[in-house]
Amino acid sequence: MQPLFQTLVEFQRTIYLALGEQIKLFAAGGDWRAFAAFLPMGVVFGAAHALTPGHSKSILATYLTGSEFGLVRGLGVSLVLSFTHVTIAVLIAVLSLPLVSIALGSVGQAPMLEDLSRGLLGLIGLWMLWRAFSRHGHSHYGREGEAVGIMAGLIPCPLTLFVMTFAISRGVPEAGLAFAVTMMIGVALTLSAVALLAIFFRQQLLNLLQSHPKALALVTRSIGGIAGAVLAVIAIHEIFMR
């Protein structure tokens, strides 16, 4: 696992260095055509970056495993998470660079947003736990999935923040924004794959129990409760043990 992680890190570093050169060239008077030819690398960059630890993959998989969402709703949650994760970083960089030094405890981290994200997700976990084991629990999810995507995505993408800050410092924020959009697509591809795998796993498990209605009902409710408990534990651990 470690060699794979190291390969991903080196791959990202190579693309990031190449991006830095492209932004410098664009800032020095280059045209959009040359920079646009490099933009597809942002998709690869985002997908590889999302494979590294973080990006709320475990939270997404846990929540969707415990939900009753189909593929479309599950993909919707992953897309909302991806959009929020990248957009928050863009907004921090664009709206106020001084905010970076105030809101971020260290480069690429945002303790206040992280605590807010984990706290809200912990509440969702407790809600799922109550819903699973309450005699009056039901399966009405409303817009809960999208809310979870937003909460999990509140932690800004550090590489997007780096890219935007560098582009702004060179006087070409539009270049950073264009690359951030392509990165978002790559992140969304990876998180969508995670969502599909989680839903497929749950559906396969439930299909095995179709001939045992009582066991099916028990497992369906238990999965939601276990997922809620895991979310709550993750939130507590991340907030108090960081």
In a domain, 220, yes or no: no
The pTM for the full model equals 0.79
The per-residue pLDDT for range 28-83, each reduced to its tens digit, is 987 888 899 999 999 999 998 888 876 678 888 888 888 888 899 999 999 999 99
Structurally, the chain folds into a number of domains equal to 1
d(CA 105, CA 109): 6
In a domain, 153, yes or no: yes
In a domain, 208, yes or no: no
Where in the sequence is the domain holding 80, given as residue range(s)? 2-110+134-198
For 17-32, letters b (16+ CB in 10 Å) and e give: eebeebbeebeeeeee
d(CA 142, CA 133): 19
In a domain, 181, yes or no: yes
